[in-house]
């Protein structure tokens, strides 16, 4: 329970400086209460009312925009300025005009984000495959609803779904749109909520509708035989892996590999890329290719340019003479996003609860929901027809003695008494009497009477048929099937994304290994690395370093050797020396944090050649502990460049020493107390983040400041500092063991 604590007079805060004597009070509240009262409602609102799509395939922002356009008459009318649509939608969506227009852009035909666009657009709406192609302002573009939207609103006026007040209670809006097809699988959706996300890929409309029809006939149908793979608006090709596709269909999670489509133009010795994966952009591909060309890894390319125009996407690559286009594209597929992965996460709100569902489960939920919509629509139609029948039945009673009805009306002195007198004279209710009283004089004839009598018979048959439909689930499914067949007929389109079977994929071309030759590695304390060949080293003079920088690590290696770089963020980066250009002593070298893409403010603390990953590495910490980790712990089987939790984060790191063979080491504290011990006293561990063992006993307030191999120190009287067991206190370092020369007076 929250309690109030009054501030001391010396720290008095005033809410308003103009109000004298009013003191602010601090409210102390447990963090659990803060999360429950403040954070949880926010998280729930983002999940339920913003980021996660529902069974109709729409998020609230999509639904509000489309419904507003429907109410504006844009389903059958002409286009209007997008600014008008955005302004009108703000009566339903209070999140601002920019957010509304962004939503509209994504739903538009011009942007090409959707296989089945819902907005028929005119003007520049940008492109989903371009990062830099900005869409025009809403005052310049025009839009209306696409014809397929008739399938979204077909039953909206027949009580098929619930209507709720908008945010200020002045209008009503639908909770869901009664889509006549499983739009949740046709329209791609990406949403990031609080603690969860959703990423649904798109499928071909015709395939989804046929799969739904077959599912209603047989719930155990093999969906992969009908819906082979997702279909994306940007085309490209799906690399068909049956196991990966089945995992997505069954669990709603998994990944699907996509690749670009390209053609070789012999006349110009160039490659044209005209379709790319849905998950990337043209600029992202070009930036990566430029980076690889600059690094000397794509020597086959002389130029690359974006030739996208009104006819569509086109990235052109000029090849150097003698280049094999297939081999080059295989390399580009491997090193750029021309081959990419779509990570699926079919997270959908079902009755207000987020659930990750497979394709079969989504079809089950959609079918159950659509059956309920049909039932509600049918019940609404029955109610309307019964009301009409009720009126005609009253008319039928009067038409049996029309002369009596005319006499009652003629003999009634006051107009307000006509309806009550008809009710009394024929035993009908007020609604029936009102209907009869409103009949025009010219309609009192035999033809009108016979036609109304026939209408009564037809209504009775229709009501009986609708009630039979309402009671039979199979008849309702038949209605859904007919509607799906009509959707296929009106809006079905061929697949845009091709299918390439994974076992038919050519084997990836093996990268030519970089030339291997002896090099000497120099790394400065500032993080600059130089790789110098033996010839350059013999011809060079003194090593150049940045002002304030100094040498740190130096060792001999080969060009193809691996390099482990430890940082002050408890991370280890893996690379090869071949990734660095050969340098000279007169150069500063490559700045390692930039070269390896380290985090902002992350610095190098040590670098080493792991060799064959035999041996171990020792980490020394300020608290006097040393952790010995086997090098095998850093030998990952994958091509990961960064390993987190590379060493313990419990105390600041002082030094890192590779241990190929056990040897004696020396550590020194900030009070000059030094300890010499054998590395065999510290057992190697396979866990990288081990805290290690206490090596030197430190006095309160003291810390370890240096560690080195004994052979690299100037200690002469080794026995003075040697400890046979750990931890040990060591001894104060004498001047003769520091390597410093004493000054004498002549």
Phi-psi region of 427 (alpha: psi -120 to 50; beta: other; left: phi over 0): left
Question: How far is residue 577's CA from residue 266's CA, in Å, rounded to a whole number?
Answer: 38
Of 320, 337, 354, the last residue of a domain is 337
Question: How far is residue 406's CA from residue 403's CA, in Å, rounded to a whole number?
Answer: 5
Quick one: DSSP state of residue 12? -
Average pLDDT over residues 408-415: 85
Q: What is the pLDDT at residue 12?
A: 39
Give tens-digit pLDDT for 425-460.
Answer: 888 888 888 888 888 777 777 777 778 777 888 899
Alpha-carbon separation of residue 643 from 598, 619, 634, 636 (angstroms): 12, 16, 8, 9
Residue 254 lies inside a defined structural domain of this protein? no
Q: What is the pLDDT at residue 746?
A: 35
Residues 327 and 378 in one domain: no
Give tens-digit pLDDT for 242-293.
Answer: 999 999 999 999 999 999 999 999 998 999 999 999 999 999 999 999 988 8
**Model confidence band, residue 13 (pLDDT cutoffs 50, 70, 90):** very low
For residue 244, which phi and psi values (nearest 5 degrees)?
-65, -40
pLDDT reading at 338 higher than 70: yes
**Model confidence band, residue 642 (pLDDT cutoffs 50, 70, 90):** confident
pLDDT reading at 533 higher than 90: no
Residues 320 and 409 in one domain: no
Strand 119-122 relative to strand 142-145: parallel, antiparallel, unpaired? antiparallel
pLDDT reading at 503 higher than 90: no
Residue 397 lies inside a defined structural domain of this protein? yes
Neighbours of 402 (CB within 10 A): 12
Residue bearing tokens 């403010």: 601
Among 118-122, 170-174, 517-521, whose mean pLDDT is lowest? Answer: 517-521
In whole numbers, what is the pLDDT of the chain averaged over residues?
87
Residues 609 and 716 in one domain: yes
> If you average pLDDT over each of 119-123, 287-291, 632-636, which comes out highest?
119-123
Considering only residues 17 and 69, tell me which one the structure prediction assigns the higher pLDDT: 69
Q: What is the pLDDT at residue 4?
A: 41
Question: How far is residue 446's CA from residue 452's CA, in Å, rounded to a whole number?
Answer: 10
Among 37-41, 219-223, 506-510, 655-659, whose mean pLDDT is lowest? Answer: 506-510
pLDDT reading at 20 higher than 70: no
Residues 467 and 605 in one domain: no
Of 179, 199, 226, the last residue of a domain is 179
pLDDT reading at 3 higher than 80: no
Residues 15 and 119 in one domain: no
Average pLDDT over residues 302-311: 91
Which residues are identified as catalytic? Answer: 140
- CATH number for the domain harbouring residue 86: 3.90.199.10
Residue 377 lies inside a defined structural domain of this protein? yes
Closest C-alpha among 709, 716, 706 to residue 737: 716
Give tens-digit pLDDT for 652-703.
Answer: 999 999 998 889 999 999 988 999 999 999 999 988 989 999 999 998 889 9
Q: What is the CA radius of gyration of the chain?
A: 39
Residues 25 and 156 in one domain: no
Residues 406 and 436 in one domain: yes
Question: How far is residue 574's CA from residue 554's CA, in Å, rounded to a whole number?
Answer: 18
Residues 305 and 379 in one domain: no
Give tens-digit pLDDT for 581-599.
Answer: 888 888 888 899 888 888 8
Q: What is the pLDDT at residue 281?
A: 94
Question: How far is residue 530's CA from residue 65's CA, in Å, rounded to a whole number?
Answer: 59
Residue 299 lies inside a defined structural domain of this protein? yes
Closest C-alpha among 736, 721, 614, 609 to residue 675: 721
Q: At what angle do helices 97-107 and 60-71 cross, to 10 degrees?
A: 80
Question: How far is residue 175's CA from residue 181's CA, in Å, rounded to a whole number?
Answer: 17
Residue 357 lies inside a defined structural domain of this protein? no
Q: What is the pLDDT at residue 723?
A: 87
**Residues 6+ away with beta carbon under 8 Å from 358:** 248, 249, 250, 251, 252, 346
pLDDT reading at 744 higher than 50: no
Alpha-carbon separation of residue 107 from 75, 99, 110, 177, 182 (angstroms): 15, 13, 9, 15, 17
Neighbours of 119 (CB within 10 A): 27
Residue 13 lies inside a defined structural domain of this protein? yes
Domain count, the chain: 5
For residue 449, which phi and psi values (nearest 5 degrees)?
-65, -45
Average pLDDT over residues 701-725: 88
Residues 58 and 132 in one domain: yes
Instruction: Specify burial of residue 708 (Cβ count, 10 A radius: 0-12, 13-18, 19+).
Output: middle
Quick one: DSSP state of residue 582? B
Q: What is the pLDDT at residue 739?
A: 65
**Model confidence band, residue 537 (pLDDT cutoffs 50, 70, 90):** confident
519 pairs with which residues across the strands? 533, 557
Residue 522 · residue 589 · CB < 8 Å: yes
Average pLDDT over residues 331-347: 93
Alpha-carbon separation of residue 310 from 124, 127, 203, 314, 494 (angstroms): 11, 11, 26, 10, 22
Average pLDDT over residues 563-581: 89
Residue 301 lies inside a defined structural domain of this protein? yes
Structure-token pair, residue 289: 């290719």
Give tens-digit pLDDT for 280-304.
Answer: 999 999 999 998 888 778 888 999 9
Residues 422 and 401 in one domain: yes
Among 20-34, 336-350, 405-419, whose mean pLDDT is lowest? Answer: 20-34
Residue 589 lies inside a defined structural domain of this protein? yes
Sign of torsion, CA 453 458 463 464?
positive
- Range of 265's domain? 261-337
Q: What is the pLDDT at residue 247?
A: 94
- CATH number for the domain harbouring residue 375: 1.10.268.10
**Model confidence band, residue 162 (pLDDT cutoffs 50, 70, 90):** very high
- CATH number for the domain harbouring residue 726: 2.120.10.90
**Model confidence band, residue 16 (pLDDT cutoffs 50, 70, 90):** very low
Residue 722 · residue 677 · CB < 8 Å: yes
Residue 82 · residue 101 · CB < 8 Å: yes
pLDDT reading at 638 higher than 70: no
Residues 381 and 328 in one domain: no
Under DSSP, is residue 203 helix (H, G, I), strand (E, B) or coil?
coil
Residues 479 and 552 in one domain: no
Q: What is the pLDDT at residue 21?
A: 46
Q: What is the pLDDT at residue 741?
A: 45
pLDDT reading at 156 higher than 70: yes
- CATH number for the domain harbouring residue 322: 3.30.1360.40
Structure-token pair, residue 126: 């940008």
pLDDT reading at 36 higher than 80: no
Alpha helices in 95-235 (DSSP H): 97-107, 183-186, 205-217
């Amino acid at each position: 329970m929250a309690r109030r604590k009054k501030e001391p007079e010396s720290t008095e805060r005033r809410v308003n400086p103009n109000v004298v004597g009013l003191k602010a009070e601090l409210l102390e509240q447990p963090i659990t209460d803060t999360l429950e009262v403040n954070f949880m409602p926010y998280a729930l609102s983002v999940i339920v009312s913003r980021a996660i799509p529902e069974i109709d395939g729409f998020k609230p922002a999509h639904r509000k925009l489309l419904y507003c356009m429907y109410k504006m008459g844009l389903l059958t009318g002409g286009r209007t300025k997008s600014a008008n649509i955005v302004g009108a939608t703000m009566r339903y969506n209070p999140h601002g005009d920019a957010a509304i227009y962004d939503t509209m852009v994504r739903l538009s035909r011009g942007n090409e984000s959707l296989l089945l666009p819902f907005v028929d657009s005119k003007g520049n709406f940008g492109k989903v495959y371009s990062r830099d192609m900005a869409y025009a302002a809403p005052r310049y573009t025009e839009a209306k609803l696409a014809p397929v939207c008739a399938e979204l609103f077909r039953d909206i006026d027949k009580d098929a779904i619930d209507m709720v007040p908008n945010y200020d209670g002045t209008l009503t809006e639908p909770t869901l749109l009664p889509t006549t097809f499983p739009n949740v699988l046709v329209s791609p959706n990406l949403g990031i909520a609080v603690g969860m996300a959703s990423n649904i890929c798109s499928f071909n409309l015709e395939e989804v509708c046929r799969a739904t029809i077959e599912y209603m006939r047989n719930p155990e149908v093999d969906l992969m035989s009908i819906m082979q793979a997702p279909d994306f608006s940007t085309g490209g090709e799906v690399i068909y892996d049956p196991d990966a596709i089945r995992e997505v269909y069954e669990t709603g999670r998994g990944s699907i590999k996509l690749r670009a489509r390209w053609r070789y133009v012999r006349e110009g010795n160039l490659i044209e890329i005209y379709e790319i994966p849905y998950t990337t952009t043209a600029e992202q591909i070009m930036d990566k290719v430029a980076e690889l060309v600059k690094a000397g890894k794509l020597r086959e390319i002389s130029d690359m340019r974006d030739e996208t125009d009104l006819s569509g996407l086109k990235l052109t690559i000029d090849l150097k003479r003698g280049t094999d286009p297939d081999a080059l594209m295989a390399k580009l597929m491997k090193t750029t996003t021309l081959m990419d992965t779509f990570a699926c996460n079919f997270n959908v709100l079902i009755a207000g609860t987020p659930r990750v569902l497979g394709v079969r489960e989504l079809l089950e939920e959609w079918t159950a929901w659509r059956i309920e919509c049909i039932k509600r629509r049918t019940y609404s139609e029955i109610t309307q027809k019964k009301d009409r029948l009720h009126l005609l039945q009253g008319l039928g009673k009067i038409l049996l003695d029309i002369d009596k009805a005319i006499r009652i009306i003629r003999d009634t002195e006051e107009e307000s008494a006509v309806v009550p007198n008809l009710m009394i004279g024929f035993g009908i209710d007020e609604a029936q009497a009102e209907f009869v009283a409103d009949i025009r004089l010219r309609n009192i004839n035999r033809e009108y009477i016979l036609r109304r009598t026939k209408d009564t018979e037809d209504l009775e048959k229709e009501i009986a048929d609708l009630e039979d439909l309402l009671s039979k689930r199979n008849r309702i499914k038949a209605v859904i099937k007919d509607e799906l067949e009509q959707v296929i007929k009106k809006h079905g389109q061929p697949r845009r994304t091709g299918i390439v079977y994974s076992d038919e994929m050519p084997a990836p071309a093996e990268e030519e290994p970089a030339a291997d030759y002896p090099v000497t590695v120099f790394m400065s304390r500032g993080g600059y690395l130089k790789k110098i060949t033996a010839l350059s080293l013999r011809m060079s003079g003194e090593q150049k370093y940045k002002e304030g920088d100094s040498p740190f690590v130096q060792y001999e290696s080969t060009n193809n050797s691996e390099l482990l770089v430890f940082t002050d963020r408890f991370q280890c980066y893996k690379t090869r020396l071949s990734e660095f250009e050969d340098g000279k002593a007169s150069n500063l070298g490559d700045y390692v944090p930039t070269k390896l893409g380290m985090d902002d403010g992350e610095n190098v603390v040590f670098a080493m050649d792991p060799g064959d990953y035999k041996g171990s590495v020792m980490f020394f910490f300020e608290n006097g502990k040393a952790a010995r980790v086997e090098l095998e712990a850093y030998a990952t089987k994958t091509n990961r460049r960064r390993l987190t939790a590379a060493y313990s984060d419990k105390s600041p790191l002082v030094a890192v020493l590779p241990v190929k063979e056990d040897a004696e080491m020396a550590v020194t504290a900030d009070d000059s107390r030094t300890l010499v011990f054998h590395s065999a006293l510290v057992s190697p561990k396979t866990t990288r983040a081990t805290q290690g063992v206490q090596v030197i006993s430190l006095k309160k307030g003291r810390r370890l400041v240096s560690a080195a191999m004994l052979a690299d120190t100037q200690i002469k009287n080794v026995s003075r500092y040697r400890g046979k067991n750990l931890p040990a206190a060591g001894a104060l370092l004498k001047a003769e063991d520091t390597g410093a020369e004493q000054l004498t007076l002549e």
